[in-house]
Amino acid sequence: MHNAVHPTIPDHTLPISAQKRKREYASATENSKPGEGDGSPQWIVNMWAMIWGTKWKTPGEVDGGL
């Protein structure tokens, strides 16, 4: 689902380091100016739905072993 509050990546939110930006956000662009809306679109991700059915622990899950 699109992020209704920030539909695009606001300016000055991606890492300052060019290496880190290239490594972790290779195709992402932020807005050129505040309020421009010309950056990459943002999405809201339902992490529970992404993890459900996998063997990964869900956020807040406690290991049952003692």
Q: Is residue 18 part of a domain?
A: yes
Predicted pLDDT of residue 45: 83
Predicted pLDDT of residue 44: 84
Predicted pLDDT of residue 59: 66
Q: Is residue 47 part of a domain?
A: yes
Nearby residues of 15 by Cβ (< 8 Å), 6 or more positions away = 21, 24, 25
Alpha-carbon distance of 35 to 52, in angstroms, equals 36
Judged against a pLDDT cut of 80, whether residue 23 lies above it is answered with yes
Mean pLDDT of the chain: 81
Range of the domain at 17: 1-53
Determine contact, residues 12/30, Cβ cutoff 8 Å.
Answer: yes
At CA 19, angle to CA 42 and CA 36, rounded to 5? 35
Q: What is the pTM of this model?
A: 0.56
Nearest Cα neighbor of 39 from 51, 49, 25 is 25
Q: How many domains does the chain have?
A: 1
Averaged over 58-63, what is the pLDDT?
A: 66
